[in-house]
């Protein structure tokens, strides 16, 4: 893949990804053509294939990199379950508020992944969910949490926290730290023994 190396690819590659992200979020994956992506980047349609094999690869890489970044960006601290949970909640909100378009695509375009690509993304999502569930189970075992079903609680909390991206507006009534605090208060009580 020598032709993907070098300073030209280093600059244009991220531009292609950004353009694909913007266009997929605005119009939906199925409605966007490689020609449109090329026009958004400012290159000829043929030149796009120096940077990506096809539209499916672009979508998959956006979703995979998003999940891998999320997994790399957060490790459970060496701390009691309640502190781990607070750290998870605050990080989840911060991370996702910074990437509303990726959050939107990660949910909306699952249907457009090939079965093989879907399996990879689903595996990464499960890894992330497992981290939260491990915290809930640890708290359950030590008696600080009372969660009737740790799997459902995991799905419920992730949906609640990710939902912030649908209504939060920068410069609105509450800043990010205030939002984190209010959500943490609800999560803390929801799982408390």
Residues near a second copy, by CB under 8 A = 26-31, 104, 107-108, 111, 147-149, 152-153, 155-160, 162-164, 166-167, 174, 179, 181-183, 185-187, 189-192
Which residue, 16 or 25, has its beta carbon nearer to a second copy? 25
**Do residues 79 and 136 touch, judged by C-beta distance below 8 A?**
no
Collapsed DSSP state (helix, strand, coil) of residue 192: strand
Which of these, 161, 59, 61, 64, lies nearest to 122 by C-alpha position?
Answer: 64
**Cβ density class 78-106: b for 16+ within 10 Å, e for less:** eeebbebbbbbbbbbbbbbbebebbbbbb
- Tell me how far, at minimum, the Cβ of 136 lies from a second copy, in Å: 11
- Tell me how far, at minimum, the Cβ of 1 lies from a second copy, in Å: 31
- Tell me how far, at minimum, the Cβ of 105 lies from a second copy, in Å: 10
Which residue, 26 or 35, has its beta carbon nearer to a second copy? 26
- Tell me how far, at minimum, the Cβ of 153 lies from a second copy, in Å: 6
């Amino acid at each position: 893949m020598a032709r993907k190396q070098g300073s030209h690819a280093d600059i244009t590659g991220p531009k292609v990804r950004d353009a694909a992200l913007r266009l997929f979020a605005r119009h939906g994956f199925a409605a966007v053509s490689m020609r449109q992506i090329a026009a958004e980047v400012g290159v000829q349609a043929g030149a796009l294939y120096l940077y990506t094999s096809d539209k499916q690869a672009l979508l998959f890489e956006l979703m995979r990199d998003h999940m891998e970044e999320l997994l790399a960006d957060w490790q459970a601290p060496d701390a009691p379950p309640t502190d781990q949970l607070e750290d998870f909640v605050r990080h989840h909100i911060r991370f996702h508020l910074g990437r509303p378009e990726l959050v939107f695509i990660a949910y909306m375009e699952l249907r457009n992944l090939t079965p093989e690509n879907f399996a990879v993304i689903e595996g990464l999502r499960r890894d992330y969910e497992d981290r939260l569930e491990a915290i809930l189970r640890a708290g359950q075992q030590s008696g600080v949490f009372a969660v009737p079903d740790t799997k459902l609680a995991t799905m419920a909390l992730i949906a609640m926290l990710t939902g912030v991206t649908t209504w939060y507006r920068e410069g609105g009534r509450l800043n990010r730290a205030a939002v984190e605090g209010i959500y943490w208060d609800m999560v803390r009580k929801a799982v408390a023994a």
